[in-house]
Amino acid sequence: MTVGKVGKYELIEPLGKGGMAEVFKGRSQGKEYAVKILLPELATSKEQCERFLREARNCAQIDHVNVLKVISIDEGQEGSGEFSRRPYIVLEYIDGGSLQEALRAPMAFERALKIGAEIADGLAWAHSEGIIHRDLKPGNVMLT
C-alpha cells in the first residue's frame, strides 16, 4: 500500500512530521529512502520554499558518516496529486529508531557516551564547514 508518489519515489508510510515538513518512507527501484516534503501550508509561500531548499542544499554539502546523506533535492513537480508542487528532499533511509525512542528506557552509560560522541563528531564537522543544524533534537537523531 502506498500513500502517494513524488517524482520516481513511491511513498510507503509516514515516518514523522515537524514544523516545516513531513517525512515518509519511500521506495524507488527496490531501494528505500526517507522523503522529506514541505508542508502544504508552507508550499504556497515562495519564501518558505526557498528556505526549505536552501537548508536542503546546505545539508547536501555534508559528507560525514554520522550525518544522513542527501540523495536528491527537487523543487516540486507539476501535477494534481496531493504532493505536487511541493519541494522535497530525498535522504538515505536509516532502518533503526530515533534517539528519542531509545531514551524511553534506561541506556547503558557506554552506549550513551558513544552516541553523544558520534553526534558531537558530526556536528563538529558540519560546523567546520560553516553549517549549523537548526533542529537538533532526539527525534532527529537516528540510531543504527
Measured distance CA(133)–CA(75) in Å, rounded: 21
Measured distance CA(16)–CA(46) in Å, rounded: 24
Exactly one of 63, 95, 121, 135 is catalytic; which is it? 135
- Would you call 98 exposed, middle or buried from its count of C-beta atoms within 10 A (0-12, 13-18, 19+)? middle
135 given a catalytic annotation: yes
Active site residues: 135
